[in-house]
């Protein structure tokens, strides 16, 4: 079985890692941990000047976070699967929705595992749902792991 595990260092991503670590996988299974670094989109109209190295620093920061997320996930999975399961990782540049599906297709994944932030309403409309897009467009099975968050009373009323 080939599992593509998407991580970004968020609590929901960590929940997805926990879920994969609990699985009973057949010997010879492979897990590829992937983190996607999004391109920095420059604002259309700028009334100020940014430092020359601003975008380079932002990209370095994003890659550093991706490396940390992958490192934590790899450590956890390697200790959960001491033998018989290969764990690999990759950082990809692009937009998460497309990059995850493209990597799953290229690698021949049997399952994509992603965490869901559980955004609702306008927030979901503005930033979109990576997990929903992957579930809708992936050519393999998709497991969406939800965070166990206690909603505030205000959020419960809007359900």
Q: What is the pLDDT of residues 134-150, one digit of tens each?
A: 999 999 999 999 886 65
Closest CA to 104 of 81, 137, 79: 137
Tokens representing 104?
Answer: 């799953």
How distant is the alpha carbon of residue 98 from its chain centre? 12
Q: Is-above-0.85 flag for pTM?
A: no
Q: How many domains does the chain have?
A: 1
152's tokens: 């505030």
Residue 129: per-residue pLDDT? 78
DSSP string covering 48-114 = S---TTHHHHHHHHHHHHHHHHHHHHHHHHHHH--SSEEEEEEEEES-HHHHHHHHHHHHT-SEEEE
pLDDT score for 151:
56
With tokens 């009973």, the residue in question is 24
Mind listing the pLDDT tens digit for each residue in 41-97?
766 566 666 777 877 888 899 899 999 999 999 999 999 998 899 999 999 999 999
H helix and E strand count, the chain: 6, 5
CATH of the domain at 33: 3.40.50.620
- The b-or-e profile of 116-128 (16+ CB within 10 A means b, else e) is bbbeeeeeeeeee
Domain span at 95: 2-157
């Amino acid at each position: 079985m080939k599992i593509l595990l998407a991580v970004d260092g968020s609590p929901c991503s960590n929940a997805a890692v926990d879920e994969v670590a609990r699985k009973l996988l057949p010997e010879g299974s492979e897990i590829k941990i992937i983190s996607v670094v999004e391109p920095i989109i420059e604002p259309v109209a700028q009334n100020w000047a940014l430092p020359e190295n601003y975008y380079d620093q932002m990209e370095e920061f994003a890659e550093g976070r991706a490396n940390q997320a992958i490192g934590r996930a790899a450590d956890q999975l390697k200790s959960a699967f001491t033998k018989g399961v290969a764990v690999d990782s990759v950082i990809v540049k692009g937009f998460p929705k497309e990059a995850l599906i493209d990597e799953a297709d290229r690698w021949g994944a049997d399952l994509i595992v992603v965490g869901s932030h559980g955004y609702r309403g306008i927030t979901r409309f503005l930033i979109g749902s990576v997990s929903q897009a992957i579930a809708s467009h992936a050519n393999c099975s998709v497991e969406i792991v939800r965070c166990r968050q206690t909603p505030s009373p205000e959020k419960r009323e809007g359900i």
